[in-house]
Amino acid sequence: MPKMTFIEPNGTRHEVEAPEGLSILEIAHRNKIELEGACEGSLACSTCHVIVAPEWFDKLPAASDDEEDMLDLAFGLSQTSRLGCQIIMKAAFDGLEVTLPAATRNMMVDK
């Protein structure tokens, strides 16, 4: 089974099994990794924002226009930012590393 690594803002690394067909968001939730996903993966927020390791970024499918629009709302956006709900694991991504941002911006919370 493929594996991937989540890196917390403090540098703590969590290598986990990453079943094919699941999103990075789903994999995080299965492994009790704190990746919010307020819209439950419906591409309506940016709370599952992750920063993909540079060596992996170009190996992933390109972000859709809708994903790019949501990323514009993400806190701490970087050149390799993606939404975890939009990256679906496959065998070719074995070893993928993503860093969790220091904070998220949840626009779905009632103010």
pTM of the predicted structure, to 2 decimals: 0.91
The pLDDT value recorded for residue 108 is 46
Question: Can you give the residue range of the structural domain that contains 11?
Answer: 3-99
Given strand 3-7, what is the order of strands in its sheet? Answer: 13-17, 3-7, 96-99, 49-52, 81-83
Residues above pLDDT 90, as percent of the chain: 87
Please, which pLDDT band fits residue 102 given cuts at 50, 70 and 90?
A: confident
CATH at residue 87 = 3.10.20.30
- Whether 34 maps to a domain, the answer reads yes
> Nearest Cα to 74, choosing from 29, 39, 23?
39
Domain total of the chain? 1
Q: Counting beta carbons within 10 angstroms of the beta carbon of residue 45, is it exposed (0 to 12), middle (13 to 18) or buried (19 or more)? A: buried
3-state percent helix, strand, coil for the chain, nearest multiple of 5: 20, 20, 60
Element (H, E) at 16: strand 13-17
The pLDDT value recorded for residue 37 is 92
The pLDDT value recorded for residue 109 is 43
- Whether 41 maps to a domain, the answer reads yes
Span 70-88, mean pLDDT? 95
- Whether 106 maps to a domain, the answer reads no
- Report DSSP state, residue 63: P
- Whether 105 maps to a domain, the answer reads no
C-alpha 93/C-alpha 56 separation (Å) is 8
Tokens of 46: 């940016």
Query: What confidence tens digit (pLDDT) does each residue in 37-60 have?
Result: 999 999 999 999 999 999 999 999
Please, which pLDDT band fits residue 111 given cuts at 50, 70 and 90?
A: very low
